[in-house]
A and B are shown apart, each in its own frame.
Chain A
């Protein structure tokens, strides 16, 4: 069926276009007209506004945090400057590395899951230089889960703690907020799993709900490298 050139046909065509009933070829032809014909565009806009109310009854569903991370990684992938350098993390990283090497096996026992096949194969101590915040993290590549155990310190009043992954020269990527309680389980988005080997974990001080910007906005309180067990 071809598009009728007669303008009498326009009201029906505008409706069919807005509802989505035109074939692909008709839609393409229609859209080229839409671009140059404001009257036609207005007709479609009226239909579109009306049709959208058919979605009023569709309940909102909160998407997982991983979707936002994936979008921001796609839209803003460039790293103009090393975040490790920008945040002045080098000295604390060395501290974190030493701390990670010194952590005793007994500490891990309390953190480990029960299934040895899914047990952790990376760990990190994410610590402030003055030890005012110390968090133990273990990551299991098999399950894609980071278990976080806050052993010292807590969020500031009216603020939250947000966990970040810094992989190489890339900007930090949020792994989510830490629970108010001691332990938090973080499911790592599949797209990030490969970045964890050799990655750095950092914790920043953020407003409730977490950083609104896709990058740390408050103080970076603690950092630590992930090391293979």
Chain B
């Protein structure tokens, strides 16, 4: 396991155009980031394309890494997660994707989602447990599956404004729990 200071050093050298540092960072993190692309996109070849884009982004934004105040793995995972979610949303927006609609109609988390939820650590997992199960589930779906307020409104069969108001309240409650 590469330590955060080692990853930071790699990113700093990458910002100076060091290709060896890029190769080392790729070796240290590509499997985790590919795992995340696969989890979000559930499609191998699309995940390979996504991973390419993610590392191209990481290379080009390495010099701005310090500004955002994130730990190195958080930064990289967030870039990967955001890119994968963007792709997923573009795919959902494409016409005629019945599978995605069917997927949205399924209210129960799949075995994989349950497994992931069970293995979550950290204060967010603990605090999600203090929310109503539907709300916690909605937050996970938004973060890990890129579901929008519109998707969630459809899923839980409630008006858009209602879901937004209630989720905003849940997020604030979550923050309160995590800060205590």
Binding site for B on A (CB under 8 A): 1, 11-12, 15-16, 19-21, 23, 41-42, 45, 47-64, 66-68, 70-72, 74-76, 209, 211-214
Contacts and interface: CB of A to CB of B under 8 A. Distances in A.
Nearest to B152: A21
Contact of B56 (A21, A45, A71): A71
A48 B35 contact: no
A76 B69 CA distance: 28
Nearest to B169: A12
Given A49-B74, A62-B31, A68-B30, A16 B144 contact: no
B52 A71 contact: yes
Q: Is the interface of B mostly helix, strand, loop or mixed?
A: helix
Nearest to B174: A15
A70 to B, nearest CB: 6
B48 A67 contact: yes
Interface string B30-52: 11101110110000000110011
A57 B68 contact: no
A171 to B, nearest CB: 11
Contacts of A50: 122-124, 178
8 contacts: A12-B168, A50-B124, A53-B124, A56-B121, A57-B115, A62-B34, A63-B48, A74-B56
Kindly state the interface size class of chain B when it binds its partner: 35 or more
B157 interface: no
B120 interface: yes
A56 B120 contact: yes
A64 B45 CA distance: 10
B92 interface: no
A83 to B, nearest CB: 15
Contacts of A214: 19, 22-23
B164 interface: yes
Given A15-B172, A53-B125, A20 B20 contact: no
A70 B144 contact: no
Given A20-B142, A63-B31, A58 B36 contact: yes
